[in-house]
Amino acid sequence: MLCFKPVQLIRSGIVAASLVAGLLPTAQAEETLPTVSWSRTDFAPYFIVQGPYKNQGIGDQLIDYFITKIPEYQHRPEEMTLARMLANARNEIPVCHVALLKTPEREEFIEYSDPVMINYANGLITNGKGLAQFGMSPDNITDIDLAAHSGHPINIMVTQGRSYSAEVDSIIKQESQLQNSIFQFKSGSAGHDQMIRLLAANRIEGFLGRPEEAFFDNINYEMKQTLYLIGLEGQPKASVVHVGCSKGSWNDDLLAEINRLIKQPEVQTFISSVYTRWLPEQLRERYAHDKAAIFEQSAGAASQP
């Protein structure tokens, strides 16, 4: 069982840039370099765009790291919604995201790096009243079948344009065509703030998200109620995450350099540290084991004809 009681987190001023020595290219040199936009997509704790933990997100620190390690490009971090990032990629605008899942639809217009890390599966983040709505209690939480709740009088919030897993995405797509869908859509940080308020007021049963999101929300919003994560049936327990860039010859050298970097043990140690900072303790302790197993499984699948 995963629960997220109100906690405090020691704020860290250490970001990736402080780990890397060296100077960025001069302004004059930058003018001749190819440019890449790094999308920061209002998705905490991957990108933290405001508040006391601003710029300390998982993706924030990975972007800082790649900027300092890949001076052959002019890097421009830009705040944007995930929907806008994907639209830019469709339109062949040079843009990258440091933590994307692969989907068949995205592979039509996005090229991916080798696996960067894993993240744990999405679930339904809810409170005590939400648990009761599903016939559960804090001591008795079991996975649910989202499809089986179609047509029920429940409200679950999801993020527009986000991929949760192939299985969950399919359910959301089917539900979105129904008049009485169990899902409501939101976009950006303003939508997330609204979602948190609705959950606190018991006006929704919960929202789909990962354990690190629940951990961050509990800290950032100083929530006075315990959050719980209900697992979703029919999906893997964790997913492989990649750097994803819009297709085009412009990214050949960039993705090659990223692949070279992420193969280095010290870089993987750093990436794991910025991710596990936002995990509850029980997942933090098993992350290294789970990552090794899933990376091995992913490599085996990629080698099959």
Q: Are 48 and 40 in contact (CB under 8 A)?
A: no
Q: Are 94 and 35 in contact (CB under 8 A)?
A: yes
Same domain, yes or no, for 37 and 97?
Answer: yes
3-state secondary structure of 116: strand
pLDDT digits (tens, 9 = 90+) for 139-163: 999 999 999 999 999 999 998 888 8
Same domain, yes or no, for 134 and 283?
Answer: no
pLDDT digits (tens, 9 = 90+) for 25-69: 444 445 688 999 999 988 899 999 989 999 999 999 999 999 999
Same domain, yes or no, for 112 and 146?
Answer: no
57 vs 13 pLDDT, higher one:
57
The answer to whether position 189 is within a domain reads: yes
What is the helix, strand, coil percentage profile of the chain, to 5?
40, 20, 40
Domain count, the chain: 2
Same domain, yes or no, for 109 and 130?
Answer: no
3-state secondary structure of 128: helix
* H or E stretch covering 4: strand 2-4
pLDDT of 302 reads: 61
* H or E stretch covering 59: helix 58-69
pLDDT of 52 reads: 92
The answer to whether position 256 is within a domain reads: yes
CATH number for position 54? 3.40.190.10
The torsion of the CA quartet 287, 293, 299, 302, rounded to 10 degrees, works out to -100
The answer to whether position 198 is within a domain reads: yes
pLDDT of 245 reads: 98
pLDDT digits (tens, 9 = 90+) for 215-225: 999 888 888 88
- Average per-residue pLDDT for the chain: 88
pLDDT of 226 reads: 87
Same domain, yes or no, for 244 and 114?
Answer: yes
The answer to whether position 71 is within a domain reads: yes
Question: At which of 209, 231, 253 does a domain end?
Answer: 231
Question: At which of 181, 196, 231 does a domain end?
Answer: 231
pLDDT of 97 reads: 98
The answer to whether position 39 is within a domain reads: yes
pTM: 0.81
Taking the alpha carbons at both ends of the chain, their separation in whole angstroms is 38
Write out the residue range of the structural domain in which residue 78 sits: 32-118+240-303
Same domain, yes or no, for 153 and 223?
Answer: yes
Paired strand residues for 229 = 2, 125
Same domain, yes or no, for 131 and 227?
Answer: yes
The answer to whether position 2 is within a domain reads: no
Same domain, yes or no, for 259 and 113?
Answer: yes
What are the tokens at 161?
Answer: 């344009």
Same domain, yes or no, for 44 and 108?
Answer: yes
pLDDT digits (tens, 9 = 90+) for 156-199: 999 888 889 989 999 999 999 999 999 999 876 677 888 899 99
In the 8-state DSSP scheme, what is residue 108? G
The torsion of the CA quartet 52, 15, 257, 120, rounded to 10 degrees, works out to -60
Question: At which of 177, 202, 231 does a domain end?
Answer: 231
The answer to whether position 22 is within a domain reads: no
pLDDT of 6 reads: 58
What are the tokens at 16?
Answer: 């990736």
CATH number for position 205? 3.40.190
Residues with Cβ within 8 Å of 38's Cβ and at least 6 positions away in sequence, in order, are 63, 66, 67, 75, 76, 77, 78, 95, 96, 97, 98
pLDDT of 37 reads: 97
Does residue 132 carry a pLDDT above 60? yes
Longest Cα separation, the chain:
63
pLDDT digits (tens, 9 = 90+) for 112-123: 999 999 999 999
Same domain, yes or no, for 48 and 85?
Answer: yes
At 293, phi and psi to the nearest 5? -65, -40
The answer to whether position 157 is within a domain reads: yes
Same domain, yes or no, for 73 and 168?
Answer: no
Same domain, yes or no, for 40 and 137?
Answer: no
Query: What DSSP string runs through 36-56?
Result: EEEEE-S-TTTS--SSTTTT-
Does residue 5 carry a pLDDT above 80? no
